[in-house]
Amino acid sequence: MTDAAFLQCIQPSCSATFALDAPIYQCPTCGALLDVSYNWSRIAVPSRLADFEKRWASRHNTMDYSGVWRFRELLPFATDADLVTIGEGQTILQSADAAAMGLSLKRGNLHLQYEGMNPSGSFKDNGMTAAFTMARKLGKQRVGCASTGNTSASLAMYASLTRLSNGQPMRGVVFVGAGKIAFGKLSQALDYGALTLQIDGDFDACMARVREAADRIGLYLMNSINPFRLEGQKTIMYRVLEALRWEVPDWIVVPGGNLGNTSAFGKAWIELKQLGLVSRIPRLAVVNAAGANTLNELVNRRGVRWNGGNWDCDAVCNHYDEMTKQRRKASTIATAIEIARPVNLSKALRALDAMNGVVCEVTDDEILEEKALVGRHGFGCEPASAASVAGLRQLLANGTIDRDATVVCILTGHALKDPDATVKYHTGIDTKGVSVSPSASKPTGRNANLPIRVPDNIDEICKAIESAR
C-alpha cells in the first residue's frame, strides 16, 4: 500500500516527488506546498462508492468504525497496523427543512454536515487521525501546532491517546494567541495535558513561531500545512456523499480560515472524478468573515486565480505588505477563522478552480444570526461554522446559488465550543461566566431568546410561563 504513495509538489511546473517520510512541509526545490499523491494503478480501490458503506456491517473492526478510515483506500498512505484512530468521523448529515425555509430554499435541499459531533467537537479530528498516524510512523515524540482553538483541542486529545511503538507517550505542544481562543477550546487543551503556550500575538504570529520551532527543535507540525492532515479531511466529502446515497450535491459551502478544508475538499473531488467514482463535481463556496477576508480580497477584489499554478504572487505579497504597513490584523467574533495569512492559499485556489468555486465574506452580525437559526432548528454550531449558512443566504440573495439547488453547509465545530458568544447573542451581555442579569440587557438579534428573571415563587413562575409567547 505504502509504496504507491509519495509526496509531490503541487506546482505543476515543478511536480517534484519525495518519499513519504521526507521531513518537509514544502517543496525544497520551489517552496510550493506538497500533496500526498498516489499511484492509483497500484491501489485496489473499490469500484463503487457504495462498497464503502458495507463496512457499517463490521463496525467492531476499528478501521471500519472510523468515519475516516472506512474510506482508507482513498487515503492509502499507511498500513492498517499504523493507524491511530479513536472512531472519529461519526458525524451527521442532517436534512434541515426548517432552516431551509428560513433561507427560502426548497424543502429537502439544505443539508447540514455536523462535524462538531467528532470526539473533540470539531472537524479537526478527521485530519488529526491521519497526521498522528504519520507522526507515529515517523517516531515523532513531540508534535505541535498553532491554533485558533480547535486544532489545539484535537491535537491535545490525540497526543494524550497516542503511544509510540516503543511505548513512549507523545508530547503535544500548542501555540495559541493569549486571549484569542474560546474557553471551551482552551479548556480542552489544558484538560488533555498539552503543553499550552499562550503567545502574545494572534494566530498568524503563532503560525510563524511554530514553524520556526519546527525547524529549530524538530517539533512535528500538525497544522494543515502538513499534507497528511488534509488526507483525513477529504473524508468529510465522502461521508456527505454517502449520506446523500452517493448523489453529488450542487454546492458545498464551507467557512474559510487557514483554508485546509477548502484544499482537502478540492483534492477529494479531483481524485473521485479521476478514479471514475463520481461523474461530476459540486461547486464550492468558501465563506470568509469580513474581519478576516484575505481569500475574498484576493479572489474577488484583486482577481487572483489558480491559473494553472501561475497564480499572481505579487498581488498576494502586495496585500500582505499593505496589511503589515497598516498594522491590520484579522478580527472577528468567529475566532476560529480569525486568520489573515492562510497557509493553504495556493491549494485553495486550486480547489476553487477544480470546483468552479466562489468566495464571499459575511459580517459578524450575519454570522450570529445564522448561528442562532441553526441552533433553533438543530444541534447548533460555533460562530465560525455558521459563516457557511450566512454565506449561503448571501449567495442565494445575489443569485449565485439557485433556490432549487441541493446545498450542503459544513458546520465545522460544536455549539459548546464558544458558549460565551451564544449567551451574549441571546442576552446582550458579555457574560464571561458571570451570572446573567437580563433586566439590564438589550439583545438585538432577530433570533434572540432572552431568559426571564423570575422570583422564587410558583405563582410568578406560572404567570411567566402562561404569558410567554
Which residues are at the interface with ligand F0G (CB under 6 A)? 122, 147-151, 224, 255-262, 336-337, 382, 384-385, 412-413
Between the alpha carbon of residue 136 and those of residues 6, 61, 142, 167, 453, the distances in Å are 17, 21, 10, 11, 53
**Of 105 and 295, which has the nearer Cβ to ligand F0G?**
295
- For residue 300, the one-letter residue type is N
**Of 249 and 255, which has the nearer Cβ to ligand F0G?**
255
To the nearest whole angstrom, how small is the minimum distance from the Cβ of residue 330 to ligand F0G?
11
To the nearest whole angstrom, how small is the minimum distance from the Cβ of residue 389 to ligand F0G?
12
Contact call for residues 295 and 285 (beta carbons, < 8 A): no
Contact call for residues 98 and 377 (beta carbons, < 8 A): yes
**Of 6 and 380, which has the nearer Cβ to ligand F0G?**
380
To the nearest whole angstrom, how small is the minimum distance from the Cβ of residue 396 to ligand F0G?
21
Largest separation between any pair of C-alpha atoms in the chain? 77
To the nearest whole angstrom, how small is the minimum distance from the Cβ of residue 293 to ligand F0G?
13
* Residue closest to 378 by CA, chosen among 92, 67, 88, 118: 92
To the nearest whole angstrom, how small is the minimum distance from the Cβ of residue 412 to ligand F0G?
3
**Of 133 and 147, which has the nearer Cβ to ligand F0G?**
147
Separation of alpha carbons 410 and 265, rounded Å: 11
**Of 102 and 255, which has the nearer Cβ to ligand F0G?**
255
Separation of alpha carbons 348 and 421, rounded Å: 29
Burial of 305 (0-12, 13-18, 19+ CB in 10 A): middle
To the nearest whole angstrom, how small is the minimum distance from the Cβ of residue 260 to ligand F0G?
3
Residue found under cell 470568509: 288
To the nearest whole angstrom, how small is the minimum distance from the Cβ of residue 391 to ligand F0G?
12
To the nearest whole angstrom, how small is the minimum distance from the Cβ of residue 226 to ligand F0G?
12
**Of 277 and 298, which has the nearer Cβ to ligand F0G?**
298
- For residue 23, the one-letter residue type is P
Q: Is the CA virtual torsion 348, 258, 289, 91 positive or negative?
A: positive
Contact call for residues 169 and 199 (beta carbons, < 8 A): no
Between the alpha carbon of residue 77 and those of residues 31, 228, 427, the distances in Å are 23, 9, 49
Contact call for residues 23 and 16 (beta carbons, < 8 A): no
Query: What residues are paired with 157 via a beta bridge?
Result: none
Phi (first) and psi of residue 4, to 5 degrees: -90, 0
**Of 49 and 384, which has the nearer Cβ to ligand F0G?**
384
* Residue closest to 16 by CA, chosen among 33, 39, 40: 33
To the nearest whole angstrom, how small is the minimum distance from the Cβ of residue 325 to ligand F0G?
25
**Of 32 and 292, which has the nearer Cβ to ligand F0G?**
292
**Of 272 and 351, which has the nearer Cβ to ligand F0G?**
351
Residue found under cell 513512549: 168
Separation of alpha carbons 231 and 220, rounded Å: 17
